[in-house]
Amino acid sequence: MVNMNFVEQCNTIFAQAVADYHRTDNVDAVMPNPFVAGSIEYDLYCKNWIDTVQWHLEDIIRDPQIDPAEALVIKRRIDASNQDRTDLVERIDSYFWELFHGITPQANARINTESPAWAIDRLSILHVKIWHMREQVERTDVSAEQHEKCVAKMAVLNEQLQDLTTSIGQLLEDYQTGARIMKVYRQMKMYNDPMLNPVLYGKKG
């Protein structure tokens, strides 16, 4: 059974991955995934590691003094990371599909606006935001006004974490009971596909 305990497990794994990354705070660090490859726990850890590394790549590329050539390298690395993120989310959705696709929907069952893995994607990114907002709250080199603003933002993020945890748990329960219909739509990103991006397949104007 997948229920609120599963979402709490996601929270635990995401918090662990963010903390593990910040032991080195290096975008080139080797991911120290402690879980068995092929398990859902392994994929969840990978998901947050990708999000955390990409957060820092986005910080680096916004340096106004960055060399343009280096910026291009990082931009392409971010593009590749986005594709990895999408592929991983879809793999997590496959896990949920195997769990729920055989459940008979109720007569009044509804379709959700997003798949469970894309909701978990938002939960993972929220953990990265919370880590970095906590850093801002703990700074001692800022004005009282800035500190207060960060404290207020931190409170909102923590409330969002609680609400998102609850709503994902409720969504999974709805799939289990047939109150919602399990459907998965693959993203089918076109810009990385050499068969679909006109620039890559050489379409002329």
Per residue in 59-94, pLDDT (tens digit) is: 999 999 999 999 999 999 999 999 999 999 999 999
How many domains are there within the chain?
A: 1
- Does 202 map to a domain? no
> Positive or negative, the Cα torsion across 97, 100, 106, 112?
negative
- Where would I find the H helices in 103-201? 116-137, 144-177, 198-201
- Does 200 map to a domain? no
Per residue in 16-57, pLDDT (tens digit) is: 999 999 999 999 999 999 999 999 999 999 999 999 999 999
- Does 38 map to a domain? yes
- Does 84 map to a domain? yes
- Does 146 map to a domain? yes
Q: Which domain covers residue 80, as residue numbers?
A: 4-193
- Does 136 map to a domain? yes
The pTM for the full model equals: 0.90
**CA-wise closest residue to 203 among 195, 192, 189, 190:** 195
- Does 36 map to a domain? yes
- Does 107 map to a domain? yes
CA distance 40 to 92: 7
Over the range 48-84, which residues count as b (16 or more CB within 10 Å of their CB) and which as e? bbbbbbbbbbeeebeeeeeeeeeeeebeebbeebeee
pLDDT at 197 (0 to 100): 67
